[in-house]
């Protein structure tokens, strides 16, 4: 019985370490992705990352002119019929061709930078 309990605890610890490592890699990817679009103004945070094989996240936080924190999160879902986005919990809508081109370019830059800077893989 003690052996079984010990094995369960060891398995849980391994799973927790794996999940924490995955979260940290996503965080590092998001930071790199957030720098693709230029320097960040003071008090501004920007993340851009791949959540899974079909989902991209663009997240921004900043202080407005009155010092209030503003937050905008955009989720892009890549579907067989095209790319749709949802922003700040509103309804999904298809993106236009210009936004699709911009997203495609951003994804290309993201992969190059993340592979080079985080995973030390040549382009």
Q: In whole angstroms, what is the distance from residue 58 CA to residue 30 CA? A: 9
**How does DSSP classify residue 40?**
P
- Average pLDDT of the residues in 85-92: 92
Indicate if the pLDDT at residue 100 is higher than 90: yes
Q: Which residues have C-beta within 8 Å of that of residue 21, sequence separation ≥ 6?
A: none
Cα pseudo-dihedral 30, 31, 33, 39, rounded to 10: 150
Q: Write down the residue that tokens 């993106």 correspond to.
A: 95
**What are 101's strand-pairing partners?**
none
| Whole-number pLDDT of residue 6 | 62
Q: Write down the residue that tokens 């503003």 correspond to.
A: 70
Alpha helices in 1-123 (DSSP H): 2-34, 97-117
| pLDDT tens sequence across 35-86 | 998 888 888 999 999 999 999 999 999 988 898 999 999 999 999 999 999 9
Indicate if the pLDDT at residue 11 is higher than 80: no
| Whole-number pLDDT of residue 2 | 65
Q: In whole angstroms, what is the distance from residue 57 CA to residue 49 CA? A: 5
Indicate if the pLDDT at residue 123 is higher than 90: no
With cut-offs at 50, 70 and 90, classify the pLDDT of residue 9: low
Within 10 A of 59 (CB to CB), how many other CB atoms are there?
A: 17
pTM for this model (two decimals) = 0.82
């Amino acid at each position: 019985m003690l052996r079984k309990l010990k094995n369960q605890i060891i398995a849980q610890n391994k799973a927790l370490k794996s999940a924490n490592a995955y979260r940290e890699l996503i965080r590092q990817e998001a930071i790199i992705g957030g720098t693709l679009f230029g320097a960040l103004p003071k008090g501004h945070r920007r993340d851009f990352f791949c959540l899974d094989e079909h989902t991209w996240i663009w997240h921004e936080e900043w202080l407005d002119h009155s010092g209030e924190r503003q937050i905008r999160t955009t989720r892009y879902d890549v579907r067989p019929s095209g790319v749709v986005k949802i922003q700040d919990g509103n309804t999904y809508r298809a993106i236009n061709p210009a936004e699709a081109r911009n997203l495609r370019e951003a994804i290309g830059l993201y992969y190059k930078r993340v592979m080079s800077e985080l995973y030390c893989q040549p382009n």
